[in-house]
Amino acid sequence: MPITDLLERNAKLYGDQVALVEINPEIREEQRVTWKEYELIQPTSSAFYRREITWSVFDEKANRVANLLLGRGIQKGQKVAILLMNCLEWLPIYFGVLKSGAVAVPLNFRYTAKEIQYCLDLADADILFYGPEFIGRIEDIVGEVGKNRVLYFVGDSCPSYAEDYYRVVSNSSSIAPGIFLAETDDAAIYYSSGTTGFPKAILHRHEALSQSARMEALHHKTTHEDVFLCIPPLYHTGAKMHWFGSLYTGSRAVLLKGNSPEAILRSVSVECCTIVWLLVPWAQDLLVALDNGELKLEDFQTSQWRLMHIGAQPVPPSLIRHWLEYFPDHDYDTNYGLSESTGPGCVHLGLENIHKVGAIGIPGLGWEAKIVDEDGNPVKQGDVGELCVKGPGVMKEYYHDPEATAESLKDGWLFTGDMAKQDEDGFIFLVDRKKDVIISGGENLYPVQIEAFLAAMPKIHDVAVIGLPDKRLGEIATAIIQVKEGMECTEDEIRVFCLDLPRYKRPRKIIFADVPRNATGKIEKPKLREIYCGSRLVEEQNRS
């Protein structure tokens, strides 16, 4: 079924119940937003504002957006882009695009002006909805992106070159537009994270989105009574498809603007959240705040919080062991996926398998997985190969890129580019990205394994391992280490800690610096290689 059916069902069954809550801890009394149609309220603190909409209002707003687009001549299959920070407007606009029969194109809020222009052009987007945070970037390219393209501004003080979204949408009908949608219709274009190059446009059908909603709800045993705290950006499949579990069950979700440990715990406490999806850095920050005594659990209401799950990147087992010291009753799940597989869940650990922490898990609902060698043949159990997945959430194609599509899709199998192995119980362990493997003196080194080892060192807050050029060995493993705030650490301490690693896996170079991560928590290794491959550090290493 098309994903829009779930919204319309919820409006009928749970119309007066709250669907979405937005919380912005940064807004103070004198900074209150005056966006039309919404009233900000203050439930508990002058630093903690919220607004909410019910399922019926959600559906009505989506209908207004759909009718607005249809009134502008948008036809089935045309593309409509969304460039917004997480907010209550985001999902009604997204579903309005889908209800019109158009294809939604969410854009990364970190894109530069040129990247925005590139992605709009690549997707053939005819309309762009954007928020006030992006005025400067849009102004830089408005001469190009404004040609033959409608720009809707979602905020106050609309620029002269755009149309006021609130004004025009209020004049649109709230009645369902009645556009027939099939599950095989194109639904959305999501962009790859760009950690391995410029983003590619990933086209998904409605059936992929609907399947991910059902899968999310079943994997995490989501019920109508659950409350999901959504922190990551909605432009990404990770946040969106995890929220789809709330859509599937008609349950409430909270959009938190910000990811500080205090904001997370306060949101869990005030909104009685039961499910929270965290990225590794946020979980690390929360644990550090508890370790240092900056936050105390007894100051918050967390007894209803039943599930913490993590995705988007490898999870150090030491992190989860530490987490369970504070939250021993939590269920836990690791969610593996790619935007090409409709986000998380094609492989997942499972709530009952916490004894396998370190694995990404087993194939999810409706999915198959295999690990293959360079020729596409299955490897022996325990051997490392490329992980391939097959299921109802595999992308239709890379839009306008048949060559890349042919490289990644073969006989229905999606070749993920991730290196993995399988244990005797059938659990899959992620080894590393195929492109991140370091070949040092003829040995294959997998940075994720080294990172997971180093992450267990108490003084390390975050770590990334990359390969740097070496005249003798070809590449050497280099650890970029971010030390916990307020602590000091030396190279000697790192090297002593690494004595428990096989000699060939020990980092040859150690750099103390911040570890850059993108909005979905993935380490930006191309950026690190760009920073350090041309630095004097490499020259010094080669001379030594």
Q: Long-range CB contacts (< 8 A, 24+ apart) of 531-537?
A: 532/466, 532/468, 532/478, 532/480, 533/468, 533/469, 537/468, 537/509, 537/511
Burial of 111 (0-12, 13-18, 19+ CB in 10 A): buried
Query: Which pair of tokens denotes residue 495?
Result: 């090297």
**H or E element in which residue 420 lies:** strand 413-422
The HSE-up count of residue 151 (CA atoms within 13 Å, CB side) is 24
pLDDT tens for each residue of 367-425: 999 999 988 999 999 998 999 999 999 999 999 999 999 999 999 999 998 889 999 99
Average pLDDT, the chain: 88
27 pLDDT band (50/70/90 cuts)? low
Q: Residue 438 carries which side chain, given as an amino acid letter?
A: I
- pLDDT tens track for 457-506: 989 999 988 888 876 677 788 999 999 888 899 999 999 999 888 787 88
pLDDT given for residue 41 in this prediction: 39
For residue 428, tell me if it sits in a domain.
Answer: no
Q: pLDDT value at position 238?
A: 81
Instruction: From 323, 211, 341, 346, select the one nearest 276 (Cα to Cα).
Output: 323
Q: Is the pLDDT of residue 34 over 90?
A: no
**So what's the pLDDT on residue 24?**
86
The amino acid occupying position 141 is I
Question: Per the structure, how many domains does the chain have?
Answer: 1
- Averaged over 312-335, what is the pLDDT? 87
**What is the model's pLDDT at position 252?**
98
Residue 254 maps to a domain: no
Cα separation, 130 vs 498, whole angstroms: 48
| Gyration radius (Cα) of the chain, Å | 23
Q: Name every residue whose Cβ is closer than 8 Å to that of residue 291 and which is 6 or more positions away in sequence.
A: none
Which domain covers residue 511, as residue numbers? 444-543
Answer yes or no: is 281 within a domain. no
Over the stretch 221-238, which tens digit does the pLDDT of each residue have?
Answer: 999 999 999 998 899 888
Q: Give residue-wise pLDDT tens across range 241-281.
A: 999 999 999 999 999 988 889 999 999 999 999 999 988 87
pLDDT of residue 45: 41
**What confidence score (pLDDT) does residue 533 get?**
76
Return d(Cα 544, Cα 537) in angstroms, integer. Answer: 11
The mean-pLDDT minimum among 69-73, 441-445, 520-524 falls in 441-445
| pLDDT (0 to 100) of residue 524 | 80
Query: Is 317's pLDDT higher than 80?
Result: yes
Whole-angstrom distance, CA of residue 284 vs CA of residue 375: 39
Which long-range CB contacts under 8 A does 278-281 form with residues at least 24 apart? Answer: 278/231, 278/308, 278/309, 278/310, 279/231, 279/232, 279/310, 279/312, 279/313, 279/517, 279/520, 279/521, 280/310, 280/312, 280/313, 280/315, 280/316, 280/319, 280/521, 281/462, 281/517, 281/521
Given its phi and psi angles, is residue 168 left (phi above 0), alpha (psi -120 to 50 degrees) or beta?
alpha
The pTM score is 0.81
Residue type, position 190, single letter: Y
Beta strands in 273-338 (DSSP E): 275-278, 307-311, 331-338
Instruction: Give me the residues paired with residue 17 across strands.
Output: none
Q: Which residues pair with 440 in a beta bridge?
A: 443
Q: Note whether residue 500 is domain-resident.
A: yes
Q: Examine residue 513 and state whether it is found in any structural domain, yes or no.
A: yes
Smallest CA-to-CA distance from 105 within 80, 130, 127 is with 80
Is residue 460 a part of any domain in this protein? yes
Coil, helix or strand at residue 302: coil
In SS3 terms, 421-456 reads as EECCCCCEEEEEEHHHCEEECCEEECHHHHHHHHCC
Q: Does a structural domain hold residue 351?
A: no
Nearest to 347 by CA among 389, 393, 289, 400: 389
3-class secondary structure per residue, 58-107: HHHHHHHHHHHHHHCCCCCCCEEEEECCCCCCHHHHHHHHHHCCCEEEEC
Reference 3, options 212, 246, 206; nearest CA is 206
Residue 196 has pLDDT above 80, yes or no: no
**Residue 44, pLDDT score:** 40
Residue 359 has pLDDT above 80, yes or no: yes
Residues 178-192: what's their mean pLDDT?
Answer: 94
CATH code, 463: 3.30.300.30
The pLDDT > 70 percentage for the chain reads 90
CB atoms within 10 A of CB 156: 12
User: What are phi and psi for residue 211, nearest 5 degrees?
Assistant: -65, -40
Q: Which of 500, 443, 452 is nearest to 477 (CA)?
A: 443
Distance from the Cα of residue 415 to its chain's centroid: 20
| pLDDT over threshold 80, residue 88 | yes
Assigned domain for 345 exists:
no
Task: Tell me the per-residue pLDDT of 301-314, one tens digit each, with 9 for 90 and over.
Answer: 999 999 999 876 66
Using 50, 70 and 90 to split pLDDT, how confident is the model at 152?
very high
Please say whether the beta carbons of 274 and 252 come within 8 A: no
